[in-house]
Structure 1
Amino acid sequence: MDTPDPVRVVTRVGPDRTAVSVDRTVEVTATDGLLRSVKVSSPAGQLPGDLSPDGSSWTASERLEPGTTYTVRSVAERSDGKVKRSSSRFSTVDLTLDQQTYPSVAPLAGETVGVGMPVIVSFDVAVTDKASIEKHLKVTSTPRQKGAWHWMSDYEVHWRPATYWKAGTDVTVDADVNSVPAGRGVYGQESRQVSFHVGDAVISKVNAQTHQMQTFINGTLARTTPITTGKPGFTTRSGVKVIIEKFRTKRMNSETVGIAAGSAEAYDIDDVEYAMRVTYSGEFLHAAPWSVGSQGYANVSHGCTGMSTADAAWIYNISKRGDVVEYTGTDRPMTLDNGYGDWNLPFAAYAEGSALD
């Protein structure tokens, strides 16, 4: 009577079991028998995985951690019912912090934002293999909305819908980049999942020629506000801007926008009220009680949108990060990267900023 061949169990992690790459997918296979169970464990816990329906293999469902020793324990059964237990070890290559890139995600978990808020994933170490990372980035929403990723730099990628978010949308961002190659020997450091909510559609329309701002809430005109924008030499940018951050009071110093102290245009105001930033270069909506006489009639600011204290308080109190402010009436264009400028490209052109075909 023939004796069944002994079960042969193999753990596939690459040629060097002492310096396994963290992006390897661990696979355990059996020949001349069936796998009944596989456990791959480390001091940090157990690596999840799945047995194939036919019992011939087990495949990990997550990637590996750097500088970690894993123990593989398997139970396999021969054709005659006898059981073989196997144990083996392997270790992953250790990575420095310079070889790992951490993803920060905006909006924040649980945040309620405006309809113009892009998804922003920022990395602390440069991503040069953008396609590899982008394949592991996903945005899902209820209701579902078409959108695209656009790489702003090696350190930052944005996602926006084809049109403004629908008010009331719930969004989840999955940055499943842990141990994913990011190029030049760098790997994703950690996976992140962040969910946020899109609130009411608050969209303001600023016309620098008529010196008026109309604010619409969910499509209904809620208020028309007399304003002033940038005077000659300090022209306010036209285009779509998005509120980046809010300050109940904000010190505004002309040196931060390139106006020298002591010059004719210099200013330094400690407590500008109800300030809402819309560009990185220093444009805000804010209370400007010193220019009330010009509001609705003339442009006298250094580029910001000024209004009365009462009007500024009103819009400040209804506004949130991600609300839209659309500017018209000047010949100075808003740019893609000066704040959340994502809406200043047609969607087709924006989608060309993806690293994927």
Structure 2
Amino acid sequence: MSRSKITALVSCLFAVALVLTACSGGDDAVPPAPLATIAVPVANGTAINPTTPIVVDAHGGTLTSVAVTNAEGKEVKAKAGDKGKTWSTAEDLGYGGTYTVKATAVNKDKVPTVKTFTVTTIAPASTAYANVIPAPDVVSGVGIGVGQPMVFQFTAPVSNKSEVLKHLKITTTPAQPGAWYWIDDQNIHYRGPDYWKPGTKIHIEADIYGVDLGDGVYGAEDTAMDYTVHDSWIAKADGATELLTVFHNGQQVRQMPMSLGEPNNPSHNGPHVISEKAAQTIMDSCTYGVCQGDPGYYRETVYNDLRISNDGEFVHSAPWSVGQQGAANVSHGCVNLSPADSQWMFDNFGLGDVVEITNSGGPPLPVWDTYGDWELSWAQWQAGAAK
């Protein structure tokens, strides 16, 4: 065989070898994608506040299903997050609960990862409600007067007052300034520098669920109510003239003789707010320590009653004192009117309307006596939130 033929044969065999090597594939196959991982940050064994959302995160993949159920198997409402990467509960949890989280995520090869987590919530020593006063059903259809403070009355003492204040909200339409004042450890009131404008819409909220009220007590639930302020009704009781003058939306509409508290039982001076009305009430002096057999004891059914303090002060019918009305102060602290005049007051005045007493010879109405709120200056009132 000639040298040229040998060279040609070798070249051909080398080419075949290259083709076979190229067809074999070697070790260049693509490896499988890593599995997706799932994380629930709050599932670490530490009990969480029930307002804290349960968040589920997927890494290296996409969440395809998530379910959170309580101990009874009820599923918690949820909302999807960023393109299947996150998921979160969309409602508050319960106190002292155990929740099961079941989640599935797939990697880019659609291979699933399935995980189960447990989340627990705190169990308070006790809970308390924030009751709104006046109760909406009491003023439904009639509204409230211009002097009515907004009131939350807690069913347990609040020691964590600064934190609770962050969760109380008032919206007024039209907008008017206002501030909170702690009357005591269980009652907080809200008013402005002046009476409300007639027609004002008031929305009040206490978003206290999950809030630490102090001393192991947490908020039991949120509360929200709406009120409408009706026409302005203000009665001015002047002990110097023994006259009760009534103003409707700033215009005088009636004036009537009256009698305030006698010198030994003077009526409190200052603005009073009607907190209750009843067609008749049994008034018993024993409720404030003057009982049967004591000088000055009385127990009598009284009509057309508008309560203006918890210290036993009312605007009411007093037929027994008609002869002194307009001439002398002879009551036990109430505003005495004739039956006809008291009926007119009862028909026109309601919760939140104002009775301003002057020249009675008595001390100012205490701020804690139902609605002594207006006895304080605006500067004094604003300082009350820090108590």
Provide the TM-score with structure 1 as the length reference: 0.89
Encode CA deviations 1:219-268: one digit per residue, 9 max, x unaligned.
12111111100111111111111001011011111111232432332211
Is the contact between residue 65 and residue 179 of structure 1 (CA under 8 Å) also seen in structure 2? Answer: no
Q: Aligned residue for 2:356?
A: 326
Encode CA deviations 1:252-293: one digit per residue, 9 max, x unaligned.
111112324323322111x20101111111111100111111
> Which runs of no fewer than 5 residues in structure 2 stay unpaired?
1-29
Distance in 2 of aligned mates of 1:41 and 1:200: 51
The percent of aligned pairs where both chains have the same amino acid is 35
Is the contact between residue 315 and residue 335 of structure 2 (CA under 8 Å) also seen in structure 1? Answer: yes
Q: Aligned residue for 1:102?
A: 129
Distance in 2 of aligned mates of 1:207 and 1:293: 18
> Which runs of no fewer than 5 residues in structure 1 stay unpaired?
none
Distance in 1 of aligned mates of 2:169 and 2:194: 18
Alignment length (residue pairs): 352
Distance in 2 of aligned mates of 1:224 and 1:231: 21
Q: Which moved more, 1:307-316 or 1:152-161?
A: 152-161
Which structure features the higher share of strand residues?
1
Q: Aligned residue for 1:254?
A: 285
Q: Which moved more, 1:231-240 or 1:45-54?
A: 45-54
Is the contact between residue 203 and residue 224 of structure 2 (CA under 8 Å) also seen in structure 1? Answer: yes
Q: Aligned residue for 2:313?
A: 283
Q: Aligned residue for 1:29?
A: 57
Q: Which moved more, 1:85-94 or 1:33-42?
A: 33-42
Equivalent of residue 302 in structure 2, options 261, 265, 272: 272
Larger Rg: 2
Q: Aligned residue for 1:297?
A: 327
User: Does residue 351 of structure 1 match 2:382?
Assistant: yes
With over 3 angstroms needed to count, the CA separation of the structure-2 counterparts of 1:83 and 1:107, relative to structure 1, is: farther
Instruction: Kindly report which structure 2 residues correspond to 1:195-274, keeping only aligned pairs within 5 A, or say none.
Output: 195-269=226-300, 271-274=301-304
Paired AA for residue 27 in structure 1: V
Distance in 2 of aligned mates of 1:100 and 1:116: 31
Paired AA for residue 273 in structure 2: V
Q: Aligned residue for 1:40?
A: 68
Distance in 2 of aligned mates of 1:338 and 1:322: 14
With over 3 angstroms needed to count, the CA separation of the structure-2 counterparts of 1:188 and 1:169, relative to structure 1, is: same
Which structure features the higher share of helix residues?
2
Paired AA for residue 127 in structure 2: Q
1:26 CA displacement: 2.8
User: Does residue 12 of structure 1 match 2:46?
Assistant: no
Distance in 2 of aligned mates of 1:207 and 1:61: 58
Is the contact between residue 36 and residue 55 of structure 1 (CA under 8 Å) also seen in structure 2? Answer: yes
Encode CA deviations 1:115-144: one digit per residue, 9 max, x unaligned.
111111111122111122221111222222
Instruction: Kindly report which structure 2 residues correspond to 1:179-194, keeping only aligned pairs within 5 A, or say none.
Output: 179-194=210-225
Secondary structure at 2:183's aligned position in 1?
A: strand
RMSD after superposition: 2.4
With over 3 angstroms needed to count, the CA separation of the structure-2 counterparts of 1:259 and 1:185, relative to structure 1, is: same
Paired AA for residue 308 in structure 2: V
Is the contact between residue 161 and residue 213 of structure 2 (CA under 8 Å) also seen in structure 1? Answer: yes
